[in-house]
Amino acid sequence: MNKKTLKDIDLKNKRVLLRADYNVPVKNGIITNDYRIKQSLPTARYILEQEGSSLIIISHLGRPGGKPDHASSLEPAATHLADLLGKPVRFVSDCVGEQVERAVQNLKAGGIMMLENLRFHAEEESNSSDFAKAIVDATGAQVFVQDGFGVVHRAHASTEAIAKALPSAAGLLLEKEVETIAKVMKEPEHPMVTVVGGAKISDKVEVLNRFIDLADCVAIGGAMANSFLAAAGLKVGKSLVEPEAYDTAREIMQKASQAERQRPFSFLVPVDVVVSKNMEGKAPARIVDLTNQAIADVTSYPKKPDPAAFEVKEDEMILDIGPVSSGYIAGAIRLSRTVMWNGAMGVTETKGIAGAHAPFSHGTRTIVDAMIGASRQHANRPFTFIGGGDTVGYVEEQGLVDEFGHVSTGGGASLELMGGKKLPGIEALQGK
């Protein structure tokens, strides 16, 4: 981190504007996953501990499209933050204008205020310097602290323009995220395994290429794996695919093949998959043995397997990696010292019916067990870095956050940083 951080600036008697990332799931006015809010607490507490300081928090929630939307209000976040801090948090139903100016007049030292969703104004996402100035003018802020790691890969008014309007610094969470990723990407402890899922290859080209150069094993899962399989000429039925990325998939596989010939390296694409006719979990699921046909042979013995055992039918879709594929990945993880994981291996949102296990989460659960399983002594676990919104959501839902080395609050930001890109919201901060 070559930018000023929270502890590099004087906050005494200052009104601090904090950009947090409170883009959290809300259902019926109740926050259902508060991980990002909890991760922002050290920064908020540090600011409030400084003599005479006061705190104004800005954030976005959802994609309201530049206009007010009650379902995307940050008021539930303000209420929840107050509970976590044990202090009142005043909520203001706008982020610019006279209403904010009046509210700020009553903000005393030690006070906390949260402003309404930045994205209720279209100028936020257009990176308007006038909008950034309007926020600064309305709040009377004297210092800007960027702690919303999940948004610093976007050039928005509250990430880039505003950092140029005030003395600025990185918050404790942002500093921790950047330092952790930098260390893992520059000085990983080997063997290093990277597990990459998600929907699109196009979102992860840079990071996949970088991992092939850096890691000892790269494993592919999730809907993204469908495109690799299709690009290799295998039938994938009505699975979610990205046809425009087939050439990219072939280039990545060719690069991986070269790496396998030059050094000890493995590139794992699913050899078996779990398929069904819909992803709601109401239709039967089955395993398709794509390449090695081991499962097909065993389940059909003494007869020869039916061709359907190793082909995805036209009316079926791939919804998870199979047990052999997940076993390969788990084996690599158990021999590793560093694991980078971004993206679930299947459709983890689908719940099982009639008391059954979630039908398309077996692959994801298998690799999680390999990372943190009870059969391993704690001291022998690899360092595990978890990134990506859906991945973090799964880990949080399972109550496993504390079992991993680092669970990132930013999906796109962590991927772009790992891919070697410069992030606008960090670049705009003052240098040391």
Catalytic residue among 66, 110, 412, 419: 412
Whether 133 shows a pLDDT value over 60: the answer reads yes
Sheet containing strand 217-220, edge to edge, reads 266-268, 217-220, 192-196, 338-342, 383-387, 406-407
Q: How confident is the model at residue 170 (pLDDT cuts 50, 70, 90)?
A: very high
pLDDT tens for 413-430 read 898 898 888 999 999 999
Q: How confident is the model at residue 393 (pLDDT cuts 50, 70, 90)?
A: confident
Cis before 382? omega within 30 = no
Whether 412 sits among the annotated catalytic residues: the reply is yes
Distance CA 257, CA 253 (A): 6
The whole-number pLDDT of residue 281 equals 87
The more confident residue out of 1 and 191 is 191
Residue 52's nearest CA partner among 86, 11, 87 is 11
**Paired strand residues for 115:** 92
What DSSP designation does 421 have? P
The whole-number pLDDT of residue 123 equals 97
Q: How confident is the model at residue 297 (pLDDT cuts 50, 70, 90)?
A: confident
CATH, domain range 188-418: 3.40.50.1260
**Interval 160-186 mean pLDDT:** 95
Distance CA 9, CA 63 (A): 33
Q: How confident is the model at residue 410 (pLDDT cuts 50, 70, 90)?
A: confident
The answer to whether the beta carbons of residues 371 and 386 sit under 8 Å apart is: no
As a whole-number percent, the residues of the chain with pLDDT over 90 amount to 77
Catalytic residue among 148, 150, 389, 393: 389
**Interval 126-153 mean pLDDT:** 96
Report how far Cα 403 is from the mean position of its chain's Cα atoms: 17
The whole-number pLDDT of residue 75 equals 96
The whole-number pLDDT of residue 375 equals 52
Distance CA 209, CA 326 (A): 22
Whether 36 sits among the annotated catalytic residues: the reply is yes
Q: How confident is the model at residue 73 (pLDDT cuts 50, 70, 90)?
A: very high
Whether 304 shows a pLDDT value over 90: the answer reads no
Whether 261 sits among the annotated catalytic residues: the reply is no
φ/ψ of 85, rounded to 5, equals -85, -20
Residue 129's nearest CA partner among 159, 95, 157 is 157
Whether 126 shows a pLDDT value over 80: the answer reads yes
Average pLDDT, the chain: 92
Cis before 68? omega within 30 = no
- For residue 429, is it left (φ>0), alpha (ψ between -120 and 50) or beta? beta
Could you tell me the residue ranges of all domains in the chain?
Answer: 6-175, 188-418
Whether 377 shows a pLDDT value over 60: the answer reads no
> Treating both helix axes as pointing N-terminal to C-terminal, what angle do 35-49 and 75-85 enclose, rounded to 10 degrees?
60
Among the CATH numbers 3.30.70.270, 3.20.20.70, 3.40.50.1260, 1.10.630.10, which is that of 6-175? 3.40.50.1260
Please name the residue ranges forming H helices in 215-359: 222-231, 246-262, 294-300, 323-334
pLDDT tens for 333-352 read 999 999 999 999 999 888 88
Residue 145's nearest CA partner among 49, 260, 7, 286 is 7
Q: Which of 53-57, 232-236, 308-312 has the lowest mean pLDDT?
A: 308-312
What's the pTM?
A: 0.89
**Interval 198-208 mean pLDDT:** 88
Q: Which residue has the tokens 């960090």?
A: 426
pLDDT tens for 4-47 read 999 999 999 999 999 999 999 898 889 988 999 999 999 999 99
Report how far Cα 129 is from the mean position of its chain's Cα atoms: 28
Whether 101 shows a pLDDT value over 90: the answer reads yes
Whether 378 shows a pLDDT value over 60: the answer reads no
Catalytic residue among 36, 119, 154, 381: 36
Structure-token pair, residue 61: 């929630």
Residue 40's nearest CA partner among 173, 131, 150 is 173
Q: How confident is the model at residue 140 (pLDDT cuts 50, 70, 90)?
A: very high
String of DSSP letters for 3-61: B-BGGGS--TT-EEEEE------EETTEES--HHHHHHHHHHHHHHHSTT-EEEEE---
CA atoms within 13 A on the CB side of 414: 28
Catalytic residue among 38, 200, 210, 255: 200
Whether 86 sits among the annotated catalytic residues: the reply is no
Whether 57 shows a pLDDT value over 90: the answer reads yes
Same topology between domain 6-175 and domain 188-418: yes
Distance CA 197, CA 181 (A): 18
Q: How far is CA 5 from CA 43, 161, 178, 376, 426, in A?
A: 11, 18, 12, 37, 11
Whether 373 shows a pLDDT value over 80: the answer reads no
Distance CA 269, CA 253 (A): 9
